[in-house]
Amino acid sequence: MMSQSNQALTIASFYSFSRIDSLKKKQVELLILCNALRLRGTLLLAEEGVNGTISGRLNQVKALVAHLRSWHEMNDFEVKYSTSLDQNFNRMKVRVKNEIVTMGEPYIDATTSSGQYVDPKDWNQLISRDDVLVVDARNTYEVSMGRFNGATNPSLEKFRDFPSWAAELARDVDKSTTVAMYCTGGIRCEKATTYMRKIGFDEVYHLRGGILKYLEEISEGESLWEGECFVFDDRVGLMHGLIEGTYTLCYGCQQPISSTDRESPVYEEGVSCPNC
């Protein structure tokens, strides 16, 4: 991690599925603004919306969020805030992409056809039902760090693999099955539940704000979450209360490394781990 100072930095994660125009113009303007605000992180722009994680002083972060909310075409969006004493991003990147989260499936309109939101306070009750299929929409290495007990792991190497897994599921189970999906911050579930509805599943739910919002709002004593939640920056994993966890990343294979992995005789710091 890159130390900034002993004053905590604010990290904000957010997304919005909105019909965005003038992408190249907005890319240039956003990069100028973010650099002026001394922010670091990544913003992705596409015709389908905005996806970002940024880090800086709280007032600077809020200024960028307010600017995005001022866009006339932007739908309202929720921001998940956490803090860190370290600067977890090397620089500020603003990129124009075909999708803000890559599924590679055409005609997926998450602005109108995604599943039903379930607030964190109601999530435990839903996933504890015997008639609900709980699905983790994240990649395999993320699931290895933590999950909701009993959730189905599609064993995705990348999110592009989700449609083929879902199509296979549709052949194996009744489409009247109630499905509850979750992911890190909610964005992948917006698309995943949209796709599930497209292929015929009628009753599809997803966790509002994702695992991060659940860990923020639900106390550890009431939680059904086990382990840590992988995040895509130098913090690697977060625990309840969005406190930084214990995992690191392997320099060799970029897989999460647990404290048990670091005790392995084949582990060599900065070189390799048991996953290599």
Q: At what angle do helices 120-127 and 210-217 cross, to 10 degrees?
A: 100
DSSP-derived 3-state class of residue 68: helix
Q: Which residues are catalytic?
A: 183
Distance between CA 262 and CA 272 in Å, rounded? 10
Place of tokens 């922010």: 39
Query: What is the residue type of 67?
Result: H
Which is nearest to 206 in space by CA: 217, 220, 195?
A: 195
